[in-house]
A = this chain, B = another copy of it.
Amino acid sequence: MTVSEKVELIKFDEEKYLSDGRVVVEQRQEAEELASCIHEQGYSNIFLLGIGGTEFEFAHFEYLVSRISDIDIYSINAADVNIMRPKKLNKDSLVITASSSGDTVEIVEATKWMIEEGIRVVAFTNKKGQLGKIAQYVIDAPVETGYCEHSYVLQSFFIYKLMNLRGNFDSYDKFADQLEKYIFADLLDIKKKFESDGLKIASEFYDAEYTIFTGSGALWGETLLFAMCMLEEMQWIRCRPVNAAQFFHGTLELIQAKVPVFIVKGEDEFRKQDNRVEEFCKKINCQYAVFDASKYAVRIDNEFRKFVIPMITTACLTGRLSRHYEVYTKHNLQYRRYYRQFEY
């Protein structure tokens, strides 16, 4: 597969995207060395500390690490953890967090008390921001565009290397080599393949009165990320994200004209649940669309494909579908009514 299709992506700078990809890949060694250092020190469990977008972005790591390792890994919301500390979070824990601005209030607050208590925090953030200044360990890839998949790849070099060192991911080096070589070119290609689908979905969904989003397994975080951070926050579009299992226990009753369903389908065990939602939508003949990650090929071995599925999905949804919505709504993705507009 090559970037063969002569599709020009709207609102997108291909060169910057690929050069940012190179910036990320250049940090591989540093990320892996840090993993070795942490592994040497030892750790008893892992906490993924996020809030909003970062919380949802970390969700797939929680799911995937749990699939390959016995290590206890927990996703924690920074606002919650500032109120009530998880019982198992202590000096033997490893906390991983991220903030592109570096000044996410709740994360900075959490990191401060964690450090005071001798808990190790690895932050994916810029070195000059507040978070970058206080965290004991910082991994920084100074990208210009900073798409989610840039973060996922960089975080993969650290998190999956940790798994490799634990003996839970023996073929990690091969995986990381393939990521390094192919991932950004392949994701660019996938974005192009998705372009016409994305435009079509946006044209049909942008003026819905209320849109139900379902997802599951490794992609439930992506579903929340797209619905909450792209559509609610950046497009002021009324969404109802609900996981594919819970969909059948309440939310399904809302489907009617002008209330479509958007189904995010992955490739893991939970695909069964996604399919059940799709079958239901077919049966009642309602308006729905499916984003199916399995439609998109990469030049990375199949045994590693599960780790790449969230990258494919975010490259299409947060990266592209949001822009297509913007085309139709004429609502600038940068506009905010309230978020960070004043103190609250």
CB of B52 within 8 A of CB of A253, answer no
Asked if A305 is at the interface (CB within 8 A of a chain B CB), the reply is no
CB of B276 within 8 A of CB of A344, answer yes
Instruction: Check A66/B87 contact, CB under 8 A, given A209-B209, A228-B246, A245-B80.
Output: yes
CB of A229 within 8 A of CB of B245, answer no
What are 14 A-B residue pairs whose CB atoms fall within 8 Å in the complex?
A55-B249, A66-B87, A79-B248, A79-B273, A84-B217, A84-B270, A210-B210, A228-B249, A228-B250, A229-B250, A232-B250, A238-B240, A239-B240, A276-B344
Most buried by B among A77, A245, A269, A279: A245
Asked if A3 is at the interface (CB within 8 A of a chain B CB), the reply is no
CB of B245 within 8 A of CB of A233, answer no
CB of B238 within 8 A of CB of A253, answer no
Most buried by B among A87, A232, A256, A342: A232
Instruction: Check A249/B338 contact, CB under 8 A, given A210-B210, A238-B210, A344-B280.
Output: no
Q: In the assembled complex, which residues on chain B have CB atoms less than 8 Å from the CB atom of A269? A: 83-84
Q: In the assembled complex, which residues on chain B have CB atoms less than 8 Å from the CB atom of A112? A: none
- Number of copies of this chain that the complex holds: 2
Asked if A6 is at the interface (CB within 8 A of a chain B CB), the reply is no
- Bin the interface of chain A by size: 35 or more
**What residue of chain B has the Cβ atom nearest to residue A81's Cβ?**
B245
Q: In the assembled complex, which residues on chain B have CB atoms less than 8 Å from the CB atom of A77? A: 243, 245-246
4 closest residue pairs by CB, A with B: A52-B249, A228-B250, A79-B245, A232-B250
Asked if A283 is at the interface (CB within 8 A of a chain B CB), the reply is yes
- In angstroms, how far is the closest chain B Cβ from the Cβ of A170? 20
- Within the assembled complex, what's the spacing in Å between the Cα atoms of A59 and B106? 24
- Within the assembled complex, what's the spacing in Å between the Cα atoms of A339 and B234? 33
CB of A232 within 8 A of CB of B253, answer yes
